[in-house]
Amino acid sequence: MPETGTETGTQAQAQAEAEATTPPTPWEYSLYIPNDPRAVTISRRTLRLILTMHGLIRLVDVAELLAAELVSNAVRHTKGPAALRVRWAAGVLRIGAWDADPAPPEPPVALERVAELEEGRGLALVRACADLWGWQPLAREGNRGKIVWCELAAAA
């Protein structure tokens, strides 16, 4: 027996309500990139696609800026490969850039000094725009290097 428009509308409404009360499933992506300045643009565009496909378009502009700064640092200040890592869990977007150099990143400059500098502004922008940021060395299972990361909480 064919469904009527009312039954279909009721089913769609019930499904929408169930989706609204079900927390989104966590997900994670990794993009391995060569030490190449073009990797920054590729990373930004890939991130935009990921966030758009997951319905997080409201985070795209700030996330792109943060990812570009992190990946740019990984490519500019190291000699080996790098990776962009993007994770969504519990309403928080974590963006990280891995590189093979275990040395800590240079501390961010004070935001007041950013305008007068020709370089070294990246982590100051990350600190100003992200809800949280940090770095950690990696040395397990033969992997070395570090990951510099930042987080954006989704606005409720």
Cα distance between residue 98 and residue 86, in whole Å:
11
Q: Which residue has the tokens 């949280």?
A: 132
- Check residues 65 and 21 and name the one with the higher pLDDT: 65
Is the confidence at residue 12, as pLDDT, over 90? no
In 3-state terms, what secondary structure has residue 72? helix
Cα distance between residue 136 and residue 149, in whole Å:
9
Is the confidence at residue 152, as pLDDT, over 50? yes
For 96-119, the pLDDT digits (tens) are: 999 998 888 887 766 555 555 555
Q: pTM of the entire structure?
A: 0.78
Query: At 156, is the pLDDT very low, low, confident or very high (cuts 50, 70, 90)?
Result: very low
At 106 the pLDDT is 81
Cα distance between residue 106 and residue 86, in whole Å:
22
Cα distance between residue 46 and residue 54, in whole Å:
12
Write out the H or E segment, with its range, that includes residue 65.
helix 60-76
At 81 the pLDDT is 92
For 19-39, the pLDDT digits (tens) are: 554 557 999 999 999 999 999
At 42 the pLDDT is 97
Residue 16 neighbours by CB under 8 Å, 6+ apart: none
* Mean pLDDT to the nearest integer, 60-86: 94
At 98 the pLDDT is 95
Q: Which residues pair with 88 in a beta bridge?
A: 27, 93
